[in-house]
Structure 1
Amino acid sequence: MTLDVIQPGLATSIQDEGRAGHYSLGFPEGGAMDRESARLGNALVGNPADCAVLECTYVGPVLVAATGATIAVTGAPADVRVNGELREQWTRIELEPGDELSFGMIRGGTRYYVAVRGGIDVPRALGSRSTYAIGSIGGVGGRALRAGDRLPVGSPTAPLPRGSSIHESARPLFAKEQEIRVMLGLYHHLLTAEGARRLVEEEWILTPTADRMGLRYNGPGVGWRDRPQPFGAGHDPSNIVDAGYAVGSIQIPGGTQPIVLHRDAVSGGGYATVGTVITADMDVLARAAPGTLTRFLPVTMEQALGERRARRDRLREVVRSLMD
């Protein structure tokens, strides 16, 4: 089975659950930005959670199912068309040989996902099929899709679930306002009291400078305490001697406006990180479109771990309900 790429879309790439275990070597985990949407798409077509899907950003591709396929489209809202006829998102779709799959303009959020029964079967690189374009590995030649690419589809390993759609109440939201929970640190103590207050009490707006590496926000700015800069750190108060970055780190280069690092961000550098988005909210962050109004809410480690468990249990319950 294959999918033929007629038009590639804006930045369509192959993604899975990511390549864990190589961060210390400079390779980020990567994988689908909105993992919940990708996992639910895989569940609809009877795939394990780690099967590779297509991640479509703003403008989707035009694909032809050369030999037929069973698919599901999840994530940000956009029109789905088969041979020009509208089909539903969050619902299993059968494609006959020669059917053309295309998409309309996105109506919220940033990315949507095309899951194919059997998964996109490109070779693994460092244990993952995910495209990491900066490192030129994974996916198809370590790059976004191009017209003329032929995507191999693997063989199914499990039966189709009884359920063929995700109930609306179980689908993620793509809101124009977000509350993103963070744990404060590592260099939060270098902010002034007013700067620290602004970070978690004022509103921030996502700019168009947002991609798989990170999301830049505009807002009231923060302030840094006066201190002698350590040797090698540079003159900007937000500079430090190099340190590791956790996934979801909030750094403030230039000293005023925050950037939240996401799936493809580098693993270390010379900017102070003042907090980290909790695991449970990384998918929420990925759904933000430019202009999204955002508040950063501080939580404790116990709360962060509790939210991670709650998210895991909720996803399991949605997947389980498909099997009933």
Structure 2
Amino acid sequence: MNSFKVIKPGIATYVEDLGRYGYYHLGIPPGGALDQASFIAANVLVGNEQNAAALEVALMAPELEFEAETYVAVTGAHTTPLINNQEMPSNTALKVPAGGKLGFSYLKKGARAYIAIAGGVDVPVVMGSRSTYPLGGIGGFKGRKLEEGDVLQIGKPTGKPSSKPLAEEFHLKLEEVESLRVILGLQDYKLTEQSLHNLFHDVYVVSTQADRLGYRFKNGQKFTYKDLPQPFGAGSNPSNIADACYPVGSMQAPGGNEPIVLQRDAPSGGGFAMYCTLISCDLDRLGQFAPNQKVRFKKVEMEEALQARKAYQDKIKKMIASLS
């Protein structure tokens, strides 16, 4: 059986798939690749099923050594793959020779790259998924990020690598000021009109506190609140509520300070008010924001969110068809 060894682990490299669903009510979040479109593209390029386990790389890529000849593909954040120190293109299937080393230049744009390997990363299925849930220590490779010296098994390839590169229209693109679409609720009624106005007119900057649990944004202002009675058990701070479930993508601001948008590994509930929720198809872009990325939040209604989700799903289908 083929395997690869971790020579350098990078900052945070995890085994992921498309997520673990059906356990959020038990406190286990869906997890999975933060940029799902890029993840799917990498798998399709090497002939894998869309949900085959692959590697998600954050901010600094690893160096890997492969036991036998294999195919890999690198998508997502802009970087230059290096096979035995020779520069290679991303967004296409690449052959790595037996004993070959896969390294990378630094990530030039975006926060996360995806490395798919023909056959997928062969780790145990835990609760229906191979994705890593670090807080619970389950899934992925030993429930944690990769470390120097780790040896991971590779599954048997089930398809053929694509002979085509990923078309330019499906490559990651980020603007100087990105826009994230949100739907108001559940507790937006707690905010003053001025704070709601600021939320949708100010430019925010991604903090260094941005990871798989959540993204913190800063702009130097605090949220202000209407003078409303606090519900029983919520405490005196107006940013608190009685404990409730958190949707993935929901925004909270503990103490009225910098807003946090919860990501795919976030806790399933707690006692902070939620002012709006990021629409599902914008979660991919959020996962690609590096610290200091500028962002505006845009309020949309449910109909627009549903149309955006349909457009996202259609684009994924078009991308897969383009590689066949």
Given the two structures, how large is their TM-score scaled by the length of structure 2? Answer: 0.97
Shift of 1:216: 0.4
1:272 aligns with 2:270: no
Instruction: State the match for 1:16 in structure 2.
Output: 17
Instruction: State the match for 1:195 in structure 2.
Output: 195
Greater Cα shift, 34-43 or 213-222: 213-222
**In the aligned structure 1, how far is the partner of 2:254 from the partner of 2:110?**
26
- The amino acid that maps onto 2:206 is L
1:303 aligns with 2:311: no
Shift of 1:94: 0.2
The 8 Å contact of residues 30 and 264 in structure 2, kept in 1 or not, is answered as yes
1:26 aligns with 2:27: yes
* SS across alignment from 1:40: helix
* SS across alignment from 2:323: helix
**What stretches of structure 2 of length at least 5 have no aligned partner?**
none
Shift of 1:161: 3.1
Once the two structures are superposed, residues 201-229 of structure 1 have per-residue CA deviations (whole angstroms, 9 ceiling, x without a partner) of 21111111100000000123321111222
Instruction: State the match for 1:254 in structure 2.
Output: 255
Once the two structures are superposed, residues 25-51 of structure 1 have per-residue CA deviations (whole angstroms, 9 ceiling, x without a partner) of 100000011111111001101111101
- The amino acid that maps onto 1:97 is A
* SS across alignment from 2:12: coil
* SS across alignment from 2:266: coil
**What stretches of structure 1 of length at least 5 have no aligned partner?**
none
**In the aligned structure 2, how far is the partner of 1:296 from the partner of 1:308?**
17
Shift of 1:157: 2.0
- The amino acid that maps onto 2:32 is G
Where does 1:1-324 land on structure 2 (aligned, <5 Å)?
A: 1-163=2-164, 165-219=165-219, 220-323=221-324
- The amino acid that maps onto 1:222 is F
Shift of 1:67: 0.9
Once the two structures are superposed, residues 246-295 of structure 1 have per-residue CA deviations (whole angstroms, 9 ceiling, x without a partner) of 11001111113210000100010000001100011000111111111111
**In the aligned structure 2, how far is the partner of 1:188 from the partner of 1:69?**
51
* SS across alignment from 1:139: coil
- The amino acid that maps onto 1:195 is S
- The amino acid that maps onto 1:42 is N
Shift of 1:159: 3.1
Shift of 1:245: 0.5
Greater Cα shift, 289-298 or 215-224: 215-224
The 8 Å contact of residues 109 and 175 in structure 1, kept in 2 or not, is answered as no
The 8 Å contact of residues 118 and 154 in structure 1, kept in 2 or not, is answered as yes
Given the two structures, how large is their TM-score scaled by the length of structure 1? Answer: 0.97
Greater Cα shift, 250-259 or 210-219: 250-259
Q: State the aligned residue count.
A: 322
Shift of 1:108: 1.7
Shift of 1:150: 1.1
Shift of 1:175: 3.3
**In the aligned structure 1, how far is the partner of 2:72 from the partner of 2:158?**
15
Once the two structures are superposed, residues 79-132 of structure 1 have per-residue CA deviations (whole angstroms, 9 ceiling, x without a partner) of 211111101110110011000111121112111010001110100111111111
- The amino acid that maps onto 1:146 is E
**In the aligned structure 2, how far is the partner of 1:160 from the partner of 1:11?**
27
- The amino acid that maps onto 1:173 is K
**In the aligned structure 2, how far is the partner of 1:27 from the partner of 1:152?**
26
* SS across alignment from 1:110: strand
* SS across alignment from 1:178: strand
Report the RMSD for the aligned CA atoms in angstroms.
1.1
Greater Cα shift, 139-148 or 264-273: 139-148
Greater Cα shift, 286-295 or 227-236: 227-236
Shift of 1:183: 0.5
